[in-house]
Structure 1
Amino acid sequence: MTDMATYTRNIQGRRVTLTLLEIDPDEVKLDPGNPRVGFAMRQLDSELRGDEACTLLLTSQEDTEGLKRSIILSGGVQEPIYLRHDLSVAEGNRRVVAMRAAKEEHPDNPNFRRMPAWLIPQKTPEDVVQDLLNEIHLGSVRGWAPYEKALQMRALVKGGLIEAEVAERYRMTANEVRQQIDAADMMDRLYFPITDDPTAAEHRSKFSYFLEFKRNGRLQKHCDASPDLPEKFAVWVRDGRVDTGMRVRRLPRILDTKEAARLLEVEGFDAAEQYLSEVDPREQELYLVLERAGTRLRDMTVAELVQVRDSPERLAILVDLRSALADVLANVDRVMRPKPAASPARKAARSR
């Protein structure tokens, strides 16, 4: 481990002096609480939550192979990781694992024997370390995925901050912070345990569905009436019945109708929506467009009416619309009109 330079950083009003080092990647300790692997690590017995398990999870869940290739092409790690005073990784676990792999693959190349790292001073409080990680990740394009950000917010709250403080620091409302944490808790409690492989990275991408669930006021009202709805929702997401954010937003309309809710359970989302489209014309695109057009026409301003008067093209569109609507209503009238009874002569002709 070689000291290179120092840098004093202002972290939420507290000055922390970081020391830049060059360190052997095999000398550092991976963080088993890292958001990318934290849930999977907590499923292991405490004695198994070591560096080896953390390495295996990071290698299997993330594109560590691609990162390793990038490091090899770049001639080493270019961006420093962050280490606590005991050399445990605060930020940069994937880079450590990828660098170790590059070092093993190219043992004679000095570029992979050491990597840059910022060393956090020994007496730095953990809440300051968490603030540093949030400054790095929550506002960064390179940062954590949404589920991982939510876990970091949860860590801050568990560390003693109130939701309003987290919200103020990271440009959110306290309610948004609460929804983020509730969605992460819901996934940990109800979703991951029912999947075949809770450690698979693809599951974490479903976080947006659970966040949408928590944000949707109508769904929360349904939860009050049906306390088992969160468990059902987790199953629907797992089974692919709810697989887009749009479907989460449309879910309240299905749950409002008993038969549609039954079809969702038995046949799937498409069957439930098909049923709604049959019983509610506003669920059909044609009638939704017509309803919106009618509302818009009734709300036309005087200025727009003057435009129609002065524009033959605009007037022609409205006249054509009136003609088309008149034709449709006339055809409907013909369909609904009872058929005239056949005359005796016509009946006799048919019987021959």
Structure 2
Amino acid sequence: MARYVRNIQGTKVDLELVEIDPDEVLLDPTNPRVGFSMRQLGDLEPDDAACTLLLTSQEDTEALKRSIILSGGVQEPIYLRHDRTVAEGNRRVVALRAAKEEHPDNPAFRTMPAWVIPDGTPEHTVQDLLNEIHLGSVRGWAPYEKALQMRALVTSGLIEAEVAERYRMTTNDVRQHIEAANLMDRLYFPIAQDPTDAEHRSKFSYFLEFSKNGRIQRHRETMPDLPQRFAGWVRDGRVDTGMKVRKLPKILDAKEALRLLEVDGFDAAEEYLSERNPREQEMYLLMERARARLADMSVVELVEAKQSPERIEILEALRQTVADVLDNIERLAPREPSRRAGAGRNR
């Protein structure tokens, strides 16, 4: 029976390696992989059977089962609390149970390796262990699950600054991640169709962007129900990309654009804004960016252009194209030339 002393954020924990029957351990209903779904099951008891049902329904669990069968058992130890509750490795337990059921005569699927965390280990130390395993690992938790883990650390007694220091984030980052998770739990999952669907976790990035965006937060002062409305927009697919969340402040600035968002969708609101402001239209936005970049050319870049016939050719073509467009516009309707435009022509 092997033993291993692991240093977890300065605390030494004496771990014991054992072989254990997957049917003799208890799944953890608070684990971030299933916790968000468990809270939506209403009166259903959050026990081992419910955890098994939720994890079995996830596609990656089926893939893990096939991997375990191909490799002849579980290779990487799980982590168990002293009472046999799984601290880390819930999916591997469920996948091995399924493999054991399919191949009852194969001894490779009867047990699995597990590190046992000794009784009396502080909860914050257990949470630190989970963070070391998941927050920076290849098989780590999804962003929403990481936010739940950060929240668990704060709930266990750490302050946000400690969490930030340990995991190379800013205190504000930690606060925003926790706020985004709270918004999803409080406002989004209760109104989502089939809130146990793991696909909902991918929407976390929208709520994180919502929490991080300062202009959106300023609108909350005059729109107290904005978080609830935002959750509804996400549910209905009106806001379905991070880019749309970043563009949301401009829509909130205009009452008519906001009305169009809720009635006809995001594209209608964006079209309304582009009609009022050419810089919101993609073509003019690109031209404005190009103009600003040309105006900021450094002396080195100007020298490079002077010495490069290819660069000069591109710039000359651009100038000719702009001149042609302006001439075509003038033919359609007389235009009052601006002083700035006239100055440019006389150079």
Unaligned regions of 5+ residues in structure 1, if any?
A: 339-352
Q: How far did residue 40 of structure 1 move?
A: 2.8
Specify the alignment match of 1:201 in structure 2: 198
TM-score by length of structure 2 reads: 0.92
Superposed displacement of residue 144, structure 1: 0.8
How far does residue 336 in structure 1 lie from its aligned partner after superposition? 1.6
Alignment of 1:331-346 (within 5 A): 331-337=328-334
| Correspondent of 1:172 among 151, 163, 169 | 169
Give the structure 2 partner of residue 133 of structure 1. 130
Partner of 1:236: 233
Aligned to 1:344: none
1:193-212 per-residue CA deviation (whole Å, 9 max, x = no partner) reads 00121111000111111111
The structure 2 residue matched to 1:57, chosen from 54, 73, 78, is 54
Please point out which of 51, 74, 89 is paired with 1:92: 89
| Alignment counterpart, residue 27 of structure 1, candidates 24, 40, 43 | 24
Confirm or deny that 1:182 pairs with 2:179: yes
TM-superposed CA distance for 1:95, in Å, is 0.6
C-alpha distance in 2, partners of 1:294/1:42?
53
- Give the C-alpha shift of residue 321 in structure 1: 2.6
Quote how far apart the aligned CAs of 1:120 are.
Answer: 0.5
Which of 112, 121, 126 is 1:124 aligned to?
121
Q: CA RMSD in A?
A: 1.7
How far residue 45 of structure 1 moved from its aligned partner, in angstroms, is: 6.0
1:183-237 CA distance string (max 9 Å, x none): 0000000000001211110001111111111111111111112111111111111
- Secondary structure of 1:17's partner? strand
Partner amino acid, structure 1, of 2:178: I
Q: Is the CA contact (8 Å cut-off) linking 1:61 and 1:199 kept in structure 2? A: no
Q: What is the match of residue 107 of structure 2?
A: 110
Partner SS for 1:206: helix
Determine if contact 1:76/1:111 at 8 Å carries over to the other structure: yes
TM-score of the superposed pair, with normalisation by structure 1: 0.91
**Secondary structure in structure 2 of the residue aligned to 1:180:** helix
Please name the residue that 2:156 is paired with.
159
- Match status 1:40 vs 2:37: yes
Q: Which residue of 1 aligns with 2:145?
A: 148
| In 2, Cα distance between equivalents of 1:304 and 1:41 | 59
State the SS of the aligned residue for 2:221: helix
Amino acid at match of 1:183: A
Q: 1:305 aligns with which of 284, 290, 302?
A: 302
CA distance in structure 2 between the aligned counterparts of 1:310 and 1:103, rounded to whole angstroms: 73
Structure 2's unaligned 5+ residue stretches are 336-347
Aligned to 1:210: 207
Alpha-carbon separation, structure 2, partners of 1:122 and 1:136 = 20
Residue 277 of structure 1, CA deviation: 1.6
Give the Cα–Cα distance (whole angstroms) in 1 for the partners of residues 65 and 153 of structure 2: 31
The Cα of 1:38 is off from its aligned counterpart by: 1.3
CA deviation after TM superposition for structure 1 residue 98, in Å: 0.8
Identity value in percent: 75
Amino acid at match of 1:107: P
Establish whether residue 266 from structure 1 lines up as the match of residue 263 from structure 2. Answer: yes
- The CA distance in 2 between the partners of 1:301 and 1:160, in whole Å, is 53
Match for residue 319 of structure 2? 322
Please tell me whether the aligned partners of residues 40 and 190 of structure 2 are also in contact (alpha carbons under 8 angstroms): no
For the residues of structure 2 that align with 1:228 and 1:50, how far apart are their CA atoms? 35
SS of 1:29's equivalent?
coil
Q: Which residue of 1 aligns with 2:15?
A: 18
